Structure 1
Amino acid sequence: MAFLLAVMSGIEHMKKLVLVIFLVLLACAEKHPPQPAIAQGATVLILGDSLSYGTGAKPEEAYPELLEKATGWHIVNAGIPGDTTSGGLQRLPNLLEEHQPKLLLIELGGNDLLRQVPTKQVEENLKSIIAQAKTQGVQIALVAIPEISPLMAAVGNLSDHPLYARVAEETKVPLITDIFSDVLSRHDLKADQIHPNAQGYVEVAKTMQEALKALGFVQAP
């Protein structure tokens, strides 16, 4: 009898465990539902700074160039060295009108953090960028940038600034995490303290493609 009760108790425990796992998976699915795929040949706009421009490598080695070859998209690299979220906000209307992209990748904020722009202002600028794109019916993904930490950079342990998670949650847009934090944590993948080298951009493009595929933007072969 004791053995039977133990078995029954174990079964009930397993049922509860399965239910918990199911609820967690359901919550994750609701948080990150699959996005409509972007067809090959469609225009994708990358609004960024020197990380998108490709500083630290040759122009053809920048991750937007590599991502274009891997996805078949027509990628417009609107990365400008030194640009900030306020600069991106000012540039965006003309870029949207000129290129009419299906997808906007936002890679901005690093220069704001370097210049110690208040975090609240950075968040508001990013939310305004997202709101502008949404009014044009453009799909959006936000790319997280590492916190500025010379100590963490020195020991190879950078992490994304939490402001990106907050903005993504508030605006309900997909967030691509850990790409630049991981690459810039490795000395062999850096051209300097804040830019990848050619091999680093290869890793950025590869991981970016995987993240976009997981979100549903990249069509499965």
Structure 2
Amino acid sequence: MAEAASKQTILVFGDSLSAAYHIPQSQGWVSLLAQRVKDNQLPYEVANASVSGETTAGGLSRLPAAIKQFKPSIVVIELGANDGLRALSLDAMKSNLEKMILASKQANAQVVLLGMFIPPNYGPRYTNGFKAAYLELAEKYKIPFIPFFLDGISGHSDLVLEDGLHPNVNAQRKILENVWPTLKPLLANNSK
């Protein structure tokens, strides 16, 4: 099929927040993104290579194989939350994210970075450093960036699972609405 061959791939590379944790896969924000791309007749396929529990170190080790498999033109990186929850080294997290950005760019893929916040109980030095790591990388590499892609969801008990962390089914469309305005211009620019 010529049409399938001409489609480009958006690779969503994240953790449980993008892997439809404890909800039907078809109702996760990445599946909703795939449906929106299809509804808008954009020449893209969406591949979800997100793994629950993934850290930036795990993501970095998996990314080369995912790039080779999917040959993405856009890579959406959504990692770091598990590093933060485990209070792992911020320097290591930032370095891992940076290496993923560079590997994606080396593969001629555009990168979208989805930022994350962590709860304040980790202390201001760690929480501020965590948030700053994403911003600094986005500015350094001039890549599209969403500072907090769970904006409007985190802290709302009606939008998270009983664990208080993971977005529920009702939150998935909101996540898509947080991501879509940043992603949409790239899709229009890449469509030929």
TM-score, length basis structure 1:
0.72
Residues 45-70 of structure 1 show CA distances to partners (whole Å, capped at 9, x for unaligned) of 01100001011421111110000101
Residue 78 of structure 1: aligned partner: 49
Residue 61 in 1 paired to residue 30 in 2?
no
Deviates more, 1:160-169 or 1:110-119: 160-169
Residue 94 of structure 2: aligned partner: 123
Pairing 1:180-199 to 2, within 5 Å after superposition: 180-191=150-161, 192-199=163-170
CA contact (8 A) 2:144 2:182 kept: no
Residues 62-97 of structure 1 show CA distances to partners (whole Å, capped at 9, x for unaligned) of 110000101233111111000010111000111111
- Change in CA separation of 1:161 and 1:56 when aligned onto 2, cut-off 3 Å: farther
Pairing 1:38-187 to 2, within 5 Å after superposition: 41-72=7-38, 73-149=44-120, 161-187=131-157
CA contact (8 A) 1:146 1:181 kept: no
CA distance in 2, matches of 1:218, 1:188: 32
Deviates more, 1:169-178 or 1:52-61: 169-178
CA distance in 2, matches of 1:114, 1:88: 16
Residue 217 in 1 paired to residue 186 in 2?
yes
State the secondary structure of the residue aligned to 2:58.
Answer: helix
> For this pair of structures, how many residues does the alignment match?
171
CA contact (8 A) 1:56 1:196 kept: no
**Displacement of 1:150 after TM fit?**
5.7
**Displacement of 1:119 after TM fit?**
0.9
TM-score, length basis structure 2:
0.83
Q: Hey, which bits of structure 1, 4+ residues long, moved more than 3 A?
A: none
CA distance in 1, matches of 2:18, 2:159: 15
**Displacement of 1:185 after TM fit?**
2.6
In structure 2, runs of 5+ residues without a counterpart are: 1-5, 39-43, 123-129
Q: Quick one: which amino acid aligns to residue 95 of structure 1?
A: A
Q: Quick one: which amino acid aligns to residue 159 of structure 2?
A: L
What is the CA RMSD across the aligned residues, in angstroms? Answer: 1.9
Identity %: 29
CA distance in 2, matches of 1:108, 1:99: 19
CA distance in 1, matches of 2:133, 2:166: 21
CA distance in 2, matches of 1:178, 1:89: 21
